Structure 1
Amino acid sequence: MSSDLDTAGLQSFIDEHGYLSWLGLCLDLIEEGRVRMSVPETEELRNPGPGRSVHGGIAATLIDTASGFALRTTFEKPADARLVTTDLDVSYLRPATGALTVDAEVLRAGGTTGVTDVTVESDTETVAVGRTTYRLFRES
């Protein structure tokens, strides 16, 4: 299990990542097996046309990314963890209209597989839920 949850180091990973930094993704909370992240409301993330809701791909990205970070907390060195998404399930409940917050919780992190449960909120309402499965590459 993780002995050093280096929030600054993991935020630095986000800041150096082209897509995640463009989104303005912020790591708000990191605990063993749990992560909270947020993305500010910006026009670039909205769909065209009436309603101008946030594009659903942003919620899917948050589910995937927060899951990976939550699973990183189960590694001895979270910033150096190697893992890849093998399954991503997203259920959209309502349009997102503002800034987004995502909470990911590890359900299981074994030797080679990890599973998370995730909730995405906008304007204090749940807008999407998801579950991911990851392949974990732990050092032998």
Structure 2
Amino acid sequence: MSEEFAAGGDSPADAAAEMQAFVDRHGYLSWLGVTVEAVEPGRIVMSVPYEEKLVNPDPDGTPVVHGGIAATLVDTASGFALRTTFEDPAEAALTTTDLNVSYLRPATGDLRAEAEVVRAGGSMGVTEVTVTSERPDDGEEATEVAVGRASYRLFRGETA
């Protein structure tokens, strides 16, 4: 992990703490229990713990996390990863312009998203995200449950 974070020189731990504070103030993200696990320039790792309030009703009794939770992680992790490309990530202005999520298999445990910036230009940014889920029932390691790509309008030096 890089010792430098963006242009401000904050440590990755400081950046993660600042981003976690934003999540904690955000009604929906805090309700989901989103945790910022790691931050590097152009990359972020976030997670959401498994909770019964997040599962779909399933006729066969297997609790499956609602797909919207994975989609939220793709969108949120993308925006946070792109924030790291701004001089002041805490003051970054950006908005989602396109979001694509492909579901690979049901999520049955905690979710973890790793977002990587593909490109962050002057006005547009693109990310790729992998979402994994723990599989507590069978003792297997985490497995990919969704992949996504997001595009964002970046407002560098202007307001959204």
Identity of aligned residues (%): 63
Residue aligned with 2:144, SS: strand
The correspondence of residues 1-140 of structure 1 with structure 2, limited to 5 A, is 1-3=6-8, 4=10, 6-49=15-58, 50-123=61-134, 124-139=142-157
- Report the CA distance between 1:8 and its aligned residue: 1.4
Higher RCO (CA 8 Å, separation ≥ 6 residues):
1
C-alpha RMSD over aligned residues = 1.1
Mapped to 1, the partners of 2:37 and 2:156 lie a distance apart of 26
- Report the CA distance between 1:52 and its aligned residue: 1.5
Residue aligned with 1:96, SS: coil
Kindly provide the CA deviation profile for residues 4-44 of structure 1, in whole angstroms up to 9, marking residues without a partner as x: 35221111000000000000000000000000001111000
**What TM-score, normalized by structure 1, do the two folds share?**
0.97
Unmatched runs of 5 consecutive residues or more in structure 1: none
Mapped to 2, the partners of 1:138 and 1:104 lie a distance apart of 21
Mapped to 2, the partners of 1:2 and 1:72 lie a distance apart of 12
Contact kept? 1:38, 1:102, Cα under 8 Å: yes
Residue aligned with 2:56, SS: coil
Amino acid at match of 2:77: A
- Report the CA distance between 1:2 and its aligned residue: 3.6
Kindly provide the CA deviation profile for residues 37-60 of structure 1, in whole angstroms up to 9, marking residues without a partner as x: 011110000111232200000000
Mapped to 2, the partners of 1:2 and 1:128 lie a distance apart of 32
Residue aligned with 1:21, SS: helix
Stretch of structure 1 that moved more, 60-69 or 5-14: 5-14
- Corresponding residue pairs, total: 140
Mapped to 2, the partners of 1:52 and 1:62 lie a distance apart of 19
**What TM-score, normalized by structure 2, do the two folds share?**
0.85
